[in-house]
Amino acid sequence: MASGVHCGGRLAALPCVATVVIFFSVVSMPPYAECVASQPPPPPLVLGYYGLKCPIAERIVKEVVSAAARRNPGILAGLIRMYFHDCFVRGCDASVLLKSADGQAERDHRANRSLQGFEIVEEIKSWLEAVCPMTVSCADILSFAARDSVALAGGIYYDVLSGRRDGLVSRASEVITNLPSFNSNAQQLVDAFAKKGLTAEEMVTLSGAHTIGVAHCSLLSSRLYNYNNTGGIKPSTVDPSMDPRYAEYLKTKCPQPQGNGMVPDTAVFLEGRTPAQLDNKYYQDLMNKRGMLRSDQTLQESPATAPLVAAYAGKNELWAREFAKAMVRLGNVEVLTGKSGEIRSRSPKHLLGAVAIAHTQPQYALSIHTLIYGTHKTSIALKKA
């Protein structure tokens, strides 16, 4: 399949003639090593990468994300989660957005089937391709969208370095080997983040994103019914690391699985007091044994991570400051720059997508006034109906 597709397009062929993709297996030919050795180091990400290439790029992302949040505040958690899932598999290269004809791309894996926000990224890409064709990568769109989601949900601001390129490969099989499990213990989480160049402290800090959004009953029912305690001595109805009163509350949301083992796919807020706000209540819940997922509560139980959990539980400003720093670090994981990867675009039939959006969603419309480079101005305004 040729390159030059929209953010969620089909998998594209790799551009290097010395590398062949056969049924998602990469085979490197002998000349490839010499080719790589002669290549200069890839350029780093920079602040303001699109300042001259597409000055309104970040403004467009912010306006579309803001409008989407007004329609559905839960989309902010969805975009942040999508960013995590993308960066942990093949780095921050937007490979989570790619589709495959045989259903074997990252987004097809069961861990990603509940991801939300694909349509928001496509909407942003429609606008950007209408004004700055083949310029802004989907990987950078995801980074900007996550940044703006964090700002809207928690009033936490940070600068995003940009210049990422889009990946050409997306394999469902790589999801399970890279994404941490909801049943991971603290050491397993530390190891998973270390593989991405992130510290144990950054792991604890970024886990605070679980203060917004939802989890499905299928991820927590094993903690509520017929749980085998960690000592392996005797079965326990409820995970002993969970506050019994909290467990009883969760049982009202997640009934016991039926005889066929089917678990209702009900969504439950990860943190119930301020479920749409990024704050430190996640850590306060962990201190009270109210972490919903096993991979959350383990942070408070482990001697290596418990002190930082306690520190964040006591001071929201401390966590917010460190969370901003950690998000910047996350955005540097295994990025493609320079001539690596590609810049995905929309095919001609999609270039009018922005116009279609304005008509199908009359509550708002982005109005692009001018796009003339050089001595003229590029501007964008939010036009409310």
User: β-pairing, 364-371 with 19-22?
Assistant: unpaired
Mean pLDDT of 131-151: 97
* 313 shares a domain with 227: yes
**Does the pLDDT of residue 369 top 90, yes or no?**
no
Whether 13 is covered by a domain: the verdict is no
359 is catalytic: no
Residue 86 CA, distance from chain mean position: 5
Residue after which a domain boundary falls, among 311, 327, 343: 327
Statement to judge: residues 189 and 93 lie in one domain? no
Structurally, the chain folds into a number of domains equal to 2
Residue 116 in domain: yes
My answer on whether 290 and 229 are in the same domain is yes
* Residue at 40 is within a domain: no
Does residue 175 carry a pLDDT above 90? yes
| Same structural domain, 172 and 194 | no
Domain that holds residue 137: 19-35+46-176+334-384
**CATH code, domain with 283:** 1.10.420.10
Which pLDDT does position 385 carry in this prediction?
38
Catalytic residue among 6, 85, 109, 210: 85
pLDDT of residue 347: 39
The pTM score is: 0.82
- 322 and 339 assigned to the same domain: no
**Mean pLDDT score, 75-91:** 97
Question: What does the pLDDT look like over 269-285, one tens digit per residue?
Answer: 999 999 999 999 999 99
Which run of H or of E encompasses 78? helix 75-87
Residue 51 falls inside a structural domain: yes
For the chain, the average pLDDT equals: 83
Do residues 145 and 184 both lie within one domain?
Answer: no
The answer to whether the beta carbons of residues 358 and 338 sit under 8 Å apart is no
CATH of the domain at 142: 1.10.520.10
Task: Describe the crossing of helices 138-154 and 57-71 by its angle, rounded to 10 degrees.
Answer: 50
Statement to judge: residues 169 and 211 lie in one domain: no
CA distance 182 to 173: 17
CB burial class (10 A; 0-12, 13-18, 19+) of residue 37?
Answer: exposed
Looking at the structure, tell me whether residues 31 and 171 fall in a common domain.
yes
Q: Is the pLDDT of residue 86 over 80?
A: yes
Residue 4 forms part of a structural domain: no
Confirm whether 5 is domain-assigned.
Answer: no
For the cut 90, the answer to whether the pLDDT of residue 42 exceeds it is no
CB hemisphere CA count around 319 (13 angstroms): 27
